[in-house]
Amino acid sequence: MSGAVLARNTTGTADAATPLDIARIRADFPILARQVNGRPLVYLDSAASAQCPTAVLQAVDHYRTTLHANVHRGVHSLSQWATEAYEGSRERVRRFLNARSTREIIFVRGTTEAINLVANSFGRGHLGSGDEVLITYLEHHANIVPWQLVCAAAGARLRAAPVLDDGELDLDAFEALLTPRTRMVAVAHVSNALGTILPVQRIVQLAHARGVPVLLDGAQAVAHAPVDVQALDCDFYAFSGHKIYGPTGIGVLYGREALLAAMPPWQGGGDMILSVSIEKTTFNELPWKFEAGTPDISGAIGLAAALDYVDLLGRERIAAHEHALLELANARLAALPGLRLIGTAPDKAAVVSFTMDGVHPHDIGTILDSEGIAIRTGHHCAMPIMERFGLPATARASFALYNSAADVERLAAGLRKVRDVFG
Ligand code: C6P
């Protein structure tokens, strides 16, 4: 992903001009040393879920073996230490996103839950009959279905902005779809299916000029370039821990404090209350108002370790490395006969979606797997954009900070084998 497209880096520590030492980095990820089907693993499915470095595995293990207790509940030492570690992780996330306050950082299970929280809580209070929510054709199902559900309940309408033939958002059409009825805009920062980077800063400006709040689905963005929610000026930002080298089961919703403060809780239970009687509940302050029940404490701690890892390497450097891999992959794949790249927008993250004449994407994936190469095939939980391109499925290779040029060459060689098998 080209660093210039996103907001400025406020936290990067490493010198952006020094390339990443990939051999050293790979040694941080134990799983990359394993063989799959008798071949050294080439992992090109980080858009689905990235691998964890030892630092994350150790942080979770250390917490589980020495600190674990429930948070915000006990007077005993373990509970206090666990609470400090959990709330310290929240501060780490705040710094990573450059949010103003930890009150704006809600721990959730992942991007899906973050969007459901906003759709249910914000949507419930702000959507009425005839109102509109505007998304795009590039969205993951997680940023479509929650809005469909709340729109159906409110009698509101879900609208989607189209994309151009190269997979870019049609920004003029997007602007035309922003009407006096639009109450919410929710768009991906980066498309998971095509890798398109959306012009989110412009989208926020256009929406805010009409008084419409904006949610950005950052699931595919945060791991790949600097993200600064103040510079983006978005109202909500959602991401998942497991796509940024952290554990599964933990994610983050950033929300502008004034909006979150006015929103009702969407789940009830322990920890989100100040007092409860049978007649009435007084809700807790932000951010705990939105964290009902025992949270994923070790997940939050693992996520904080993952953010440390990413910032130690430097988000600008990661972006530059992945961009070089994207260019190499584009060149190698374009040279293969019968291979069609799906999504060639000028601003792209290191995600390459493609089809091969006469070969079903699942067969591509199966043959590559026999070579130890992991890619994703299918509709990528983004059926509307597949339909836009008249495809039931694509093959998708997605790159991360630990991938190397050698991985791209193995992919190209694997695809030549697919061609040989299918003639
Ligand atoms: N995309 C992929 O292979 P969860 O499952 O809640 O962590 O993330 C959902 C999600 C939301 N938005 C975008 C843009 C995403 O890419 C994803 C997850 C994975 O593309 C798994 S379907």
What tens digit of pLDDT does each residue of 231-268 get?
999 999 999 999 999 999 999 999 999 999 999 999 99
Q: Are residues 272 and 216 in the same domain?
A: yes
Nearest atom within ligand 1 for CA of residue 243 = 7
Distances (CA, A) of 128 to 123, 208, 264, 278: 9, 20, 16, 30
Question: Does residue 145 have its Cβ closer than 6 Å to ligand 1?
Answer: no
Q: Are residues 31 and 93 in the same domain?
A: no
Q: What is the pLDDT of residue 168?
A: 98
Please give the average per-residue pLDDT across 132-147, as a whole number: 98
Residues designated catalytic: 381
Domain boundary among 311, 340, 361: 311
Question: Does residue 192 have its Cβ closer than 6 Å to ligand 1?
Answer: yes
In a domain, 235, yes or no: yes
Ligand 1, atom 22: closest residue by C-alpha: 381
CATH number of the CATH domain containing 361: 3.90.1150.10
Nearest atom within ligand 1 for CA of residue 251 = 7
DSSP string, 103-120: GGEEEESSHHHHHHHHHH
Question: Does residue 384 have its Cβ closer than 6 Å to ligand 1?
Answer: no
In a domain, 343, yes or no: yes
Q: Which residue has the higher pLDDT, 108 or 73?
A: 108
- Asked if pLDDT for residue 385 goes beyond 70, the answer is yes
How many Å lie between the centroid of ligand 1 and the Cα of residue 359? 26
- Report the predicted TM-score, pTM, of the whole model to 2 decimal places: 0.96
C-alpha to C-alpha distance for 330 and 354, rounded to whole angstroms? 10
Percent pLDDT > 90 in the chain is 94
C-alpha to C-alpha distance for 363 and 256, rounded to whole angstroms? 45
Q: Are residues 293 and 407 in the same domain?
A: no
Question: Does residue 46 have its Cβ closer than 6 Å to ligand 1?
Answer: no
Ligand 1, atom 3: closest residue by C-alpha: 48
Nearest atom within ligand 1 for CA of residue 189 = 14
How many Å lie between the centroid of ligand 1 and the Cα of residue 12? 25
Nearest atom within ligand 1 for CA of residue 188 = 14
Largest CA distance in the chain: 72
In a domain, 2, yes or no: no
Question: Does residue 111 have its Cβ closer than 6 Å to ligand 1?
Answer: yes
C-alpha to C-alpha distance for 233 and 244, rounded to whole angstroms? 22
Domain count, the chain: 2
In a domain, 244, yes or no: yes
Q: Which residue from 381, 383, 386, 396 has its CB within 8 A of the most atoms of ligand 1, so it is best to mutate?
A: 381
Measure the CA dihedral 21/46/6/409, to 10°: 60
